[in-house]
Chains A and B, each alone.
Chain A
Amino acid sequence: MTAEQQAIFQAILASQDYFLLWGPPGTGKTSVMLKHLVGHWMDHSKDTILLLAYTNRAVDEICESIEAYAPEMRNRYIRIGSRYSTSPAYQGRLLSILSQRIDTRKELKALISGHRIVVATVASIIGRPELFLLKAFDRVVIDEASQILEPMLVGLLPNSNTSC
């Protein structure tokens, strides 16, 4: 990270309520900042993390970024969404694929609670409010937030402790 990115990174970690990060395309909001934030929270806390974006393509980029942090990250997140909207590279992390061999609710619950990171589009999460009954999130990061209507955001954000 550059010195400026380091300073922003530290500021985000220190923020207690929410942090708004704005930057032009290509400045590293997802590929640098989100990658290191998720990596840091995974390495230094037990927080559960919800990563959201407006489009499926941006969610693919989030998957790419967190997998680039460390090879083991590949198995540490669940993606929620449709097979058709997900890049083939990340379809193996879809909840619908991971749960194919699950027969009981107990196993499904264990699968969801066994993963600290959930990645999805806002539309996918809004369509599955039951997820919040099964899992509480300590942190939520919303990429492409300016494209999302306010009623969607204000409905999601009260479900987490810290937002970015």
Chain B
Amino acid sequence: MDRRPCGSILSSEKQERFEILSHLTIVDNRAGADEAIIRFARSEQTNPLANFPHGGYRGVVPFVNEEQSPLRNQLFKCSIIELSASTVTVSLRSRQFNDQIFQDYTWWNLEHDLMDNSFTAQYRGLYDLASSSTHKRRLLLGVTAPAMPLELSPKQ
């Protein structure tokens, strides 16, 4: 049984799958600007082969040590807007009025984001469904079949 702390297992698995850009340092912090942007420098420990294409949704979290789970820290949702051999630039989803956290930590990890929307947005989506007409609800839930044009209907 692997007795390493949870954060350590997760981190090494992500490294093996090229799913983490670890040990990044901040070289330009404009998190408080209208267009919130942070530029990171890669370090020697950053995997140069990590699979992070331009665009798409990412999360960036402070890196404390191998033992700590990313869930113990604040996670910032962002998109990669520029990638080079030495730097990674991200656009944060939300402007940060208090950017103290970016000064408190030296190392940062950039990971793939599996949740592209907040739970609030998802609850809002469910509310919109619940507020829609009975016909729409039945259609979208698959209770009522979509109307099929006559020429495409299965032969009787």
Residue positions of A touching B, CB distance < 8 A: 11, 14-19, 54-57, 82-85, 122-123, 126-127, 129, 149, 151-159
B143 CB-CB contact with A under 8 Å? no
- List, in ascending order, chain A residues with CB within 8 A of B99's CB: none
A158 lies within 8 A of B124 (CB): no
The contact of A157 among B56, B117, B140, by CB within 8 Å, is B140
Q: Judging by beta carbons under 8 Å apart, are B91 and A18 in contact?
A: no
Interface bin, chain B: 20 to 34
Fill in one digit per residue for B116-150: 1 if any A CB lies within 8 Å of its CB, else 0.
Answer: 11000111111111011100110110000011110
A154 lies within 8 A of B147 (CB): no
Smallest CB–CB gap between A115 and chain B, Å? 23
6 nearest interchain CB pairs?
A: A155-B125, A158-B132, A14-B149, A17-B146, A151-B122, A84-B81
Q: Are B123 and A151 in contact (CB under 8 A)?
A: yes
Q: Which residues of B contact A123 (CB under 8 A)?
A: 57, 116-117
Report the bound CA distance from A158 to B129 in whole Å.
Answer: 7
A149-B122 contact in complex given A56-B79, A82-B79, A158-B129, C-beta closer than 8 Å: yes
User: Is B125 a contact of A156 with CB atoms below 8 Å?
Assistant: yes
Q: Give the tally of cross-chain contacts (CB within 8 A).
A: 91
Residues of B within 8 A of A (CB): 35, 37, 53-57, 79, 81, 91, 116-117, 121-129, 131-133, 136-137, 139-140, 146-149, 151-152
Q: A156 contacts which chain B residues (CB < 8 A)?
A: 125, 128
Given A82-B79, A149-B122, A158-B128, list of 20 further CB < 8 A pairs? A11-B149, A11-B152, A14-B149, A16-B146, A16-B149, A17-B147, A18-B139, A56-B55, A56-B79, A82-B35, A83-B35, A84-B35, A85-B55, A85-B91, A151-B126, A155-B128, A157-B140, A158-B132, A158-B133, A159-B128
